Structure 1
């Protein structure tokens, strides 16, 4: 079910919209621009319905802040307005609004405009995804990871961000003893498991035959981080082994860097991930290691 955030300072407007939208969409509500921006720090809806006339921070100001953040900049926005002036519509469209819905709401027109915008957004995402994603795994290609992650690092919250490098141990030997299609099957099954295990809003990439990046745009506590790493090693590797016809059992090592403690850009954090992974490979493999300057 698609997720819509509605922002309106008038309670009766929120209630009337909820009656129309809740049977079809997961609906979240905010009563001010500030509330909406706080909500967006931890949530990414598929669409924002944004009232123009609000006190303190109006819809235009709220939209400017949304567009400045790379994590939220591409969320489609429909303005809600009782203003029928052409100038308001022109201003909104120039700022990037996808459409307008006038108040009071007419249910069929409202649903139709929302469905049209969501369909357009799905098409846009599919086109972008096909260019940026690895054909075998549907994970981000290496050349697109750096600009995407660097843009997100500029807007991380006080909790920081988490970066994992997952590397199969001795994959070359296992793949050499497996049929080529089975070797690809190992990669595919692992990638599918990784998608289900990774936290919300993670950026997942494949940067080598058997090397995977997980970027989480917020910090995890020690228990959460250890739990995620153990899940990746235990569950995902079991899935990968189901696709292998080789006698060897695959294991995986995981290196970890944290932002901003270990760096504030993709290149620095990746370099330190490689250093942490080198340490693992020299000390026995099949381990989890946080970068500590070694």
Structure 2
């Protein structure tokens, strides 16, 4: 198991050395000696927990905690304040800013080890639950909720520069007939195999694949123009075909196939993420109407739309 990362923040190097000696065998430890450095290191290292000194020159621990909790990328990182013995007011203020605990100085190794261990484990469990909430249990892909949220984020981000964004939607052809013929366990295996094929086809770290529901899947491709989206869609077709999953009741092939719809547009302020999903869905159904096992594409903007079909 990968070690959790602990960020120790203290302007006294001796305190950092003491805490590091207690924790280094069980965790990856990084450190900062000022408030600003703490924020920079936190953004770079994304630690699993922060041990934060209250009294520091410049940006003190309270302000560091406030900035951590106001940053969406850092807000979920647990913060434990380190305070002088009997500093009750500091402890209360820290807890009110979002800290989850405190340890007193001078540091007691057993207490520090126990509290850090408890909160790291709690964060691991929270992260696991958060991952389950956005992950499809059958395929391991992202689920519809996560895809729609991510798409909205990408539209907003790319609108600032007017970059391309493409969305692909696909579903398995004649899947009901497949289930009726081979049974639901075989249907689940089929969905899982198609999901794996999709993962092989959609390769960039910035791209996102999801099970949209049932036998339907979707992909979000940031910074991808129509030509690039078509290449990905073609690769999806090839990867699914290479599975060679028998489907004796398919009307287009003796094996499992998919129909694909693609929507591409340059992002601009005020555009709704739902527009991409709607356009891609329309193209998916165009592929079905035209015989399935093919790609249909739409390039659109706020005022007009260009449509093409790829056999």
| TM-score class, shorter | 0.5 to 0.7
Quickly say closer, same or farther: Cα 1:176–1:250, change in 2 above 3 A. Answer: same
* Partner of residue 276 from structure 2, selected from 253, 272, 275: 272
User: Contact 1:52 / 1:81 at 8 angstroms: preserved in 2?
Assistant: yes
In the other structure, the counterpart of 1:124 is: 126
In the other structure, the counterpart of 2:60 is: 58
* Partner of residue 110 from structure 1, selected from 96, 109, 112: 112
In the other structure, the counterpart of 2:186 is: 182
Q: Does 1:92 align with 2:94?
A: yes
Q: Does 1:208 align with 2:213?
A: yes
Report which stretch shifted further, 81-90 or 244-253: 244-253
User: Contact 2:8 / 2:29 at 8 angstroms: preserved in 1?
Assistant: no
Q: Does 1:172 align with 2:176?
A: no
User: Gapped runs of 5+ residues in structure 1?
Assistant: none
RMSD (CA atoms): 4.8
Q: Does 1:262 align with 2:267?
A: yes
CA distance in 1, matches of 2:259, 2:24: 44
Report which stretch shifted further, 52-61 or 202-211: 202-211
User: Gapped runs of 5+ residues in structure 2?
Assistant: 248-253, 306-311
Q: Shift of the alpha carbon at 1:85?
A: 0.5
In the other structure, the counterpart of 1:18 is: 20
In the other structure, the counterpart of 1:45 is: 47
Q: Shift of the alpha carbon at 1:198?
A: 7.6
Aligned residue-pair number: 282
User: Contact 2:144 / 2:212 at 8 angstroms: preserved in 1?
Assistant: yes
Quickly say closer, same or farther: Cα 1:46–1:18, change in 2 above 3 A. Answer: same
Quickly say closer, same or farther: Cα 1:62–1:254, change in 2 above 3 A. Answer: farther
CA distance in 2, matches of 1:23, 1:174: 52
User: Contact 1:141 / 1:207 at 8 angstroms: preserved in 2?
Assistant: yes
In the other structure, the counterpart of 1:8 is: 9
1:216-237 Cα deviation digits (max 9, x unpaired): 9xx7799xx98x959x849975
The 5 A counterparts of 1:67-82 are: 67-82=69-84
Q: Shift of the alpha carbon at 1:116?
A: 0.7
Q: Shift of the alpha carbon at 1:6?
A: 0.9
CA distance in 2, matches of 1:238, 1:28: 48
TM-score, normalised to structure 1, is: 0.67
Quickly say closer, same or farther: Cα 1:93–1:268, change in 2 above 3 A. Answer: same
